Structures are given as structure tokens and as C-alpha cells.
Structure 1
Amino acid sequence: MKIQLALDRMEIADAIKLTQLVEESIDWVEVGTSLIKEFGIHSVKELKQVFPHKTIVADIKTIDNARYEFEMCFQAGADVATVMGVSPLVTIDACMEVAKKYNKKVMIDLLNTSEEQKRELLRYQDAIFCVHVSKDEQETLGAQNRGSQESSGFFQKAGVELAAAGGITLDSIEGLQKSLCSSVVIIGSAITKANNPSEAAAKFKEIGLQLEGV
């Protein structure tokens, strides 16, 4: 189980400092959508320069103009870039083509996708599928609203790589992993807003190792 640190709603310098505090306990570093929107692709470049040994995820949430946006992300040093699963399939096709060109990965965000769309997306066997409870859903319905995750069981049966995101805490991660068996767990505020981010990240890492039977 890889732990992906989600960095959102902060300055680039603060994102770097926070990542330095927890880097021993995390595997992937996500340059969050808000960072990219506020500071541009420069945010991806800076994080990759400081953490060249980490997998950098550009959470750009592409939904159109895919070829341009994915080229931009991978040229900036991203190892993974995200596209919305509700995008036209031609858009996701373009993402997959660019990723193959750069030998990088595509993460498909399943937020608000229908069951029919999920079935269509299974054609992208090389992608990472992210089961995602949105920030707005968390704030309105609570972080434990996992209906969209429960509806994605056929992704497990298909044997594709899964990621989970959205309000994951130390209290919820074990149950989530037992039901979803994701290979990537995306943690945001449970680390970034913790009183001691380093300690929180270490606890997530410890739980991850326990769940793997190490």
C-alpha cells in the first residue's frame, strides 16, 4: 500500500516544508488541484526538483484539452497525472497516449461517474482508478460517505490498480482498505492539518505495513 500525500490550499514553500517533515513515511507526493490552479505548472516543477526520488502526482483533473495538459504535466516532471472519468473517452484516449509516450501513468478519477461509465473505463487496464469522495461531499455529507466506493467492487474483480481518496483518517483507513484493497491511499488533511504531521504520517505508514502483513 502506497501512501500519497495530498498537498492543497497552501503556498508552494509550505508544501515543500511539510513534505520534508513526512517524506520518510510517504511514497507519492500529490501536487493538488488547488496548488496547480493557484501557482500553475511551476508547482509541479518545484516539487519534483526538491523530491526527485518521489513519485509526483499532478492532480490536474483534466476533462478536456488532454494532450496539451498531459504533455505540460509530464514535461514539468510529473510521474502521474489525473483525468476525470466523466470525460469523453476520446479525452482519456489522448491521456493514455501521452502517458505511454513519456512512460508515465494516468490516474482516472471516478468522481460522479455512472455505473455505465465505470464499465466503459475498464478498457484502460494500464490506468490507476481513483475512488473519490469529493471535498464538497465530505463537508456536506460527512467523510464517511463511501457510497461511490462501495459501487466500485467490479474494479477489484477486474484486477486493475486502485487508489482511494476523500477524508481518509487513521480511524477509517483500516476498514476502507479491507473493503476496497486499494494499492494507493491518498491522505490530505489527516496529515497536513495534524498537530504533528510527521507523527501522523508515521502512524499511517505503520497501519499500512500492518495491513500488508509485514
Structure 2
Amino acid sequence: MNIQLALDRMEIAEAIELTKKVEDSIDWIEVGTSLIKEFGVTSIKEIKQAFPHKQIVADIKTIDNARYEFELCFEAGADVATVMGVSPIVTIDTCMEVANRYQKKVMIDLLNTSDEQKQALRKYNEAIFCEHVSKDQQEELGSQNQGTKPSNFSAFQVAAAGGIKLDSIENLIGSLNPAVVIIGSAITKAEDPSAAAQQFKQIILQTKEKMPC
């Protein structure tokens, strides 16, 4: 199970400096949507250069213009790029084709997808599926991803995102058993980000040890 550190709403230099403090406890680094929107693919390039041995996720949230956007991300050094599950199937097909050509991965964000759309997405068995509680839901409604419902993609690689905290992660692991846990402000805005990241890592390891094989 990988911890993906989500870097959002900060300068590139600040993102790099913060990640250096926690890099021993995290596995993947997400160049957040806000970083890409504010600084372009330079944000991907600089973070990949700073952490060449980490998996870099470009959270570009593609919904159209897939070939252009995914090629930009992979050329900049991303190992994974994201596409919205509500996109047209031709868009997601294109994302998969580009990722295969670059030997990279696609993460499909399931935010606001219907059951019908989720069923259609199940053909992408090489993708990572992200069960996502949105930033607006977190900030306006106080929601967070606690994994209380089983994933529709339990047979696939699943990522979980959205307001994950130390007191919710054990329940989330038990219900979703995600391959990737995406953690943002619980680490990046912690008083001691290094200690927070270490705590998450420890809880994940302890929880996994308790689970049946």
C-alpha cells in the first residue's frame, strides 16, 4: 500500500521543501491540480527532478483533449496521470493508449460518476481507480473519505482520496483495502509534517499486519 502525498495550493519550491521532510515515509508524490494550473507542467518537471526515484502523479484531471494533455504530463516526467471517469469513453481510451505508449499509468478519478459510468469503466483493468471525496465536499460539507462503503472496483487497483486523517485511515483500509492512499493536508498542514507522515506509515503497516492474508 502506497502513500501518495498530495501537493496543492503552494509554490513549487515550497512543495519540494515540504516533500524533502517527509520523503522517507511516503511513496508517490502527487503534483496537485492547483500546482499544474498555476505553474503548468514546469511543476511536474521540477518535482520529478527533485525526486527522480519516486512515482510522480500528475493530477491534471483530464476530461477532454486527452492526447495533448497526457503527452505533456509524461514528457514532463510524470509516471501516472489522472483522467475524470465522467469523461467520454473515447477520451479515456486515448489516455490508456498514450500511457501504454509511454509505459506509464492512468488513474481514473471516480468523482461524481454514476453506477452506469462505473460499470462502463470496468474494462480498463490496467488503470488505477480513485474513490474520491471532492475538496468542495470536504471544505463546505465537512465530508471525508472514510471508506465506509465497499468499492465497486475491489478486484482492481484502487486509490482513496479526500480528507483522509489519522483517525479515519484504519477504517478506510479495512473497507476499501486501497493500493494507494492519497493524503494531503493531514500531512502538508500538520505542525510537524515529518511526524504526521511517519504516523500514517505506522498505522498502515500495523493495520495491514492485522488483516487476513
TM-score, normalising length from structure 2? 0.96
- Per-residue CA deviation, residues 44-80 of structure 1 (Å, 9 max, x unaligned), is 0000001000000000000000000000000000000
Contact 1:138 1:145 in 2 (8 A): no
Task: Point out where structure 2 has 5 or more consecutive residues left out of the alignment.
Answer: none
Alignment of 1:15-164 (within 5 A): 15-144=15-144, 150=149, 153-156=151-154, 159-164=155-160
CA-CA distance at 1:154 after TM superposition = 2.6
CA distance in 2 between counterparts of 1:53 and 1:134 reads 29
Contact 1:143 1:168 in 2 (8 A): no
For residue 59 of structure 1, what is the amino acid of its counterpart? Answer: D
> What is the aligned partner in structure 1 of residue 196 from structure 2?
200
- Per-residue CA deviation, residues 161-193 of structure 1 (Å, 9 max, x unaligned), is 000000000000000110111010000000000
CA-CA distance at 1:144 after TM superposition = 3.4
CA-CA distance at 1:142 after TM superposition = 1.4
- Per-residue CA deviation, residues 14-49 of structure 1 (Å, 9 max, x unaligned), is 000000000000000000000000000000000000
CA-CA distance at 1:143 after TM superposition = 2.9
- Per-residue CA deviation, residues 93-144 of structure 1 (Å, 9 max, x unaligned), is 0000000000000000000000000010000000000000001011122133
CA distance in 2 between counterparts of 1:126 and 1:25 reads 26
| Equivalent pairs, count | 210
CA distance in 1 between counterparts of 2:151 and 2:201 reads 25
Task: Point out where structure 1 has 5 or more consecutive residues left out of the alignment.
Answer: none
Contact 1:85 1:111 in 2 (8 A): yes
RMSD: 1.3
Give the 3-state SS of the residue equivalent to 1:206 in structure 2.
helix
For residue 198 of structure 1, what is the amino acid of its counterpart? Answer: S
* Overall identity of the aligned pairs, in %: 71
Contact 1:26 1:205 in 2 (8 A): yes
